[in-house]
Each structure stands twice: as structure tokens, then as C-alpha cells.
Amino acid sequence: IDISSDIPQVTKNGRIFYFRGVLNVGDKRNITLIGRKKHIEKLQNVIENKKKSINSIEGIIKKLIENQDEIMRGIGGKEKRAKEYSEAITRIEEEIRHLQNSFEAINLIIDEIRTDKSEHKENIVAIGERITMLEKTLRVEKDELPDIQESRDQLRLERGKFDKLNENRQNLLIEKLKTEHSINIKIKELDNNKNKIQKMLNEKEEYSNQIQKLLEKIEEKKSKKEELIIDEGKVEDEVDGLRERDLDMRNNIEKFNIMINDFDEKHKILDENRNSVKETLNNFRIEKETGSMKLANTENKLKNRYGIAPFRSDIETEEEIWSSDKIERMREKLLKMEPINLLALKEYDETEKRLNFLIEQKNDLLSSEESLLKTIKLSDKKAKEDFEKTFVLIKGNFNKFFTELFNGGKSDIIIENADDPVESMIVVYAQPPKKKIYKMQMLSTGEKTLTAIALLFAIYQTNPSPFCFMDEVDAPLDDVNIERLIILLSRIKENSQIMMITHNRRTMEICEYMYGVTMAEGISKIVSINLKKEMEEWD
């Protein structure tokens, strides 16, 4: 018997057999096939719904990726986006659970299909046996060939439907595998996002600590600077005090000189008066002794010649009268003289000691003033020399940076008063490309900003420090000028660490680390991200 023949066979219970499958006709198996078709349609609807769910998940994941890109560009909303990530992850996990439940239902359906397939295999064996039997009876039933041919066509039609069912089952399995693979990929991406978020939070904490340490160091430097400023103020106050004391000492010395001159004049007058009094007293004594001698001689002569006793107690002689008048005049002269200060010599000695002390103090102050003026002169000379050297360097750097930022043009800085460069005004000239030379006041806002940046970096480049802080210097610039600034910053950051406050996304792209401040429930938080590492991972 040729079982590969396409001729169908019909059993007594209404089954029609062909070599690839079986079709139930007339009993409950026919209802099962129709129900299966509906069930397959339901499965197709379920699959379509799951495809939509998968598309929705992919849309959510795409949104997550966009949000992640947004995180890379804007650190300020990172915590908010992290919260959105968490909510999205929760929603996706719920979707995954629903999908897993749906896949379990699909697996049950597939198992049922596999069970039906096993039954089909058993039916195929029975069909083979029945074909053998039918081929034996084929010759006898040639008259029934047209009916059998019609049944054969119907069986072929049903076989096509069955093949389509198998094809749908295979497609369903493929879709299931694709969905499972896609879900596994999304789960891995979600796990990676969770790890990245956790890593970013850890880095945020680490950089918050580093920033806190830097702020503490800055405060320490500020306090030291304030102490130096206070010490400088104290020194200036001491110098001012010394100058005031010197002025007071000079005034006091001048007063003392006047007092000493007055004292010398009075002392001279007293010496003259004292000498005059001494001379008068000596003359008086001489005259008194002369008169006494004359009186004694006269008395002796009277006594010897005439025997007359002395009568000096009763009658005053002419010399005595003259002497009394003279003595009276001398008294009047003494009364007219000012009273003599017996402590004048002692006061003179004390005043002289005080004067010597003040002169010594004056000499010390003059010596200190001379030394201080000499030091100030040397400092001014050194400051002038350093200023001139630094000014030449700044001038060259300014022209170089200006040309680089403006892609051409000329610039210059000029000292108005060359005799006193330290205290002189400095004029900044800028000539952008294809424009006349201008002062800073004649430039636009963007040109002023670029010129100021060029001058700042020219000063900075003369003695670069490990850190460089900038606060929104790129705010007034357009995209073209920002690109030029970025090129300059990329070159500067090779030797210095740049810390820049900015809201410009293009400027953020060259950063290696990004810090942002966000506020949740009235509490400010600092978040950070390692952009360089994240970009390497994305690449």
C-alpha cells in the first residue's frame, strides 16, 4: 500500500485521515478544532497585546535612556530623574511580572498544542493503518470515487489550515523567545542603571566630602588672609602711631626748647642780679669798714688832743648818715627785684635730664623713621621692578589669548603714568578682527566678556595656580564664542584644575566631573557624576 498517497480515508466514526494529519468530521473533535481556531485567534490577540506591551516597554526604556542622557547633560535634576528611574523600574518590573504571567499562560497553551500534536501523531499511526485497509478496499469502492475525491479536497483544505496552525505555533514560539530575550536585555539594562545610579550616589557622597574639605581649606586660607590683613593694619597703625608720637615729641621738644631758653634767660638775669648784689654788698662792706676806720681815727684824735670822750651814740657822723642812706637805697633796690627761687637749680637739673631723655627718644624715632622709610623705598623699588616684569609678561599673554579667542585682531594694555606705574591707571585697548581699535567701553557685551577672559588668563598664566575658579563666565557668549572658550579651557586644564559654575550644556560636555545642587523638601543636596567614565562606558 502506498501511504504517501494524497487520497483521504474515512472511518466509521466519521474521521477523515490523510498522510499528514487528521480531521474529525461529525463528532466533538470538529468542535475542538473550531474552538482551537478561536483560541489561536485569542492567542494572536494576546501576542499583539504583548507586542504592544513590549513596544511600550521599549518606549519606556528609550525614555529612560533619554532621561539618562539628560542626566549626563544636567546634574541639577539628577536626583529627580533617579526617582523617575526608580518609579519607571517599578513599573517595568510590574510589566515584566505581567509578561511573565502571560508567558506562563502561553506556555500552557503551547503545552496543550504539543499534547494535541502527540494525539495527532497517534492519529497518524492509526491513519497509516487505516490507509492500508482503505487501499485494500479501494478497488471495490471505485463507484464512490467522486465522493471520496470531494472529501480529499476538503481534507487538503483542512490540512492547509492545520499547517497554518503549526506555522502560527512556531511564530508564537519565536515571538516568545524574542520577547524573553528582549526582556532579559531590558532587565540587564535596568540592573546596570540601578548600579549606575548607586554608583553616582556614592560618587556624590565622595565628592561632597571632597568639596567640604576644599571649603574648609578655603575658609582656613581666608582666615589666614584676614589675619595677615589685620597684622598689616596693626603695622600701619603702629607706623601711624609712631609718626604721631614723633610729631608730639617734636612739639614737646620745641616747647621744652622754648622753656629752656626762657629758663636760660631768667637764669642769666638771676646771675646778673646776684653778681650785682654781691658787688653792692662788697662795696657796702668796704665803705662800712672805711667809715668805721675813719670814725675810730677821729675819736682817737679827739681823745688824745682834746680829751673828749666818744659821742657816736648820740650824734651820727656824715659817713654814717651817708652809709644809712645808701643801705636804704640798696634795700629798696632789693625789694624791687623779683623773689629768688631757691629750687631753680634743682628744677634746672631735672629739666635738663628730661630734655636729654626726650632728645634720645627723638633720635631713636628719627632713626626708626629713617630705617622704615628706607625699607619702604626698597619695597617700592622691588614692587616697581616686579610690576614692570610682570606687566610685560601679561601684555604678551593678553595679545596671544585675545588673538586666539577672537581668531585674529589686536590688543594692548598701556600704563598712563610711566613715572609711577604701580599707582597709575591701566588702559585696555581691544581691536577685534575687521574693526577699528576700541577702548573696552566701545565693545559689545560678548566682546567685553572675551576680552576680560583673555586678560584674566593672561594674568593667571604668569603664575599658574593648581586651581582655577570661574563663575558663569560663558553666560554672555554665543555658541561660536563658547567653542573658542572651550578650546582655550581644554589647553589650560592640562596644567591646572578648573572649577567652573555654568548652565551651558556645551561647556558641561568638556567636564570630567560634574557637581549639582538640588533641593528636596527644603534641604539642599550635592550630587556628582564622573562624566569621563560614563562617556567611556557609553562608547
Per-residue model confidence (pLDDT) at position 27:
45
**How far is it, in rounded angstroms, from Cα 66 to Cα 522?**
28
**How far is it, in rounded angstroms, from Cα 91 to Cα 462?**
57
Cβ 243 vs Cβ 300: under 8 Å = no
**How far is it, in rounded angstroms, from Cα 24 to Cα 43?**
23
**How far is it, in rounded angstroms, from Cα 105 to Cα 98?**
11
In 3D, which of 121, 56, 65, 43 has the Cα closest to residue 91? 56
In a domain, 214, yes or no: yes
Q: Which of 171, 193, 220 is the last residue of a domain?
A: 220
Per-residue model confidence (pLDDT) at position 28:
42
In a domain, 109, yes or no: yes
In a domain, 137, yes or no: yes
Per-residue model confidence (pLDDT) at position 192:
72
Per-residue model confidence (pLDDT) at position 421:
79
**How far is it, in rounded angstroms, from Cα 278 to Cα 21?**
172
In a domain, 51, yes or no: yes
Cβ 75 vs Cβ 514: under 8 Å = yes
Cβ 380 vs Cβ 393: under 8 Å = no
CATH for 449: 3.40.50.300
Per-residue model confidence (pLDDT) at position 128:
60
- Structure-block grid coordinates of residue 237: 597703625
Q: CA gyration radius for the chain?
A: 62
Q: Which of 169, 186, 220 is the last residue of a domain?
A: 220
In 3D, which of 290, 278, 141, 196 has the Cα closest to residue 537? 196
- Structure-block grid coordinates of residue 296: 675810730
In a domain, 276, yes or no: no
Q: Per-residue confidence of the chain (539 residues) as pLDDT tens digits? A: 444 445 556 565 555 555 455 444 444 444 455 555 666 677 677 777 767 767 776 676 666 666 656 655 655 555 565 566 667 667 766 766 766 676 666 667 666 666 765 665 666 666 666 666 656 665 555 555 556 566 566 666 766 666 666 676 666 667 666 666 667 676 776 677 667 777 766 766 776 676 677 667 667 766 766 666 665 566 566 666 666 766 776 676 677 667 666 666 766 776 676 666 667 667 767 766 777 777 677 767 666 665 555 544 444 454 454 555 666 676 666 566 555 555 666 776 777 787 788 888 878 888 888 888 888 888 888 888 888 888 899 999 999 999 988 888 888 888 888 777 778 888 888 888 877 765 667 778 888 888 899 999 999 888 888 888 989 888 888 888 888 888 888 888 888 888 889 888 888 888 888 888 888 778 888 888 888 777 777 66
Domain that holds residue 115: 9-220
In a domain, 376, yes or no: no
Torsion angle (degrees, nearest 10) of CA 125, 127, 129, 130: 160
How many structural domains compose the chain?
Answer: 2
Cβ 3 vs Cβ 129: under 8 Å = no
Are β-strands 497-501 and 467-471 bridged in parallel, bridged antiparallel, or unpaired?
parallel
In a domain, 485, yes or no: yes
Q: Which of 190, 220, 250 is the last residue of a domain?
A: 220
Say what the pTM is: 0.36
Per-residue model confidence (pLDDT) at position 491:
85
DSSP letters spanning 88-106: HHHHHHHHHHHHHHHHHHH
For cell 651820727, what's the residue? Answer: 316
In a domain, 199, yes or no: yes
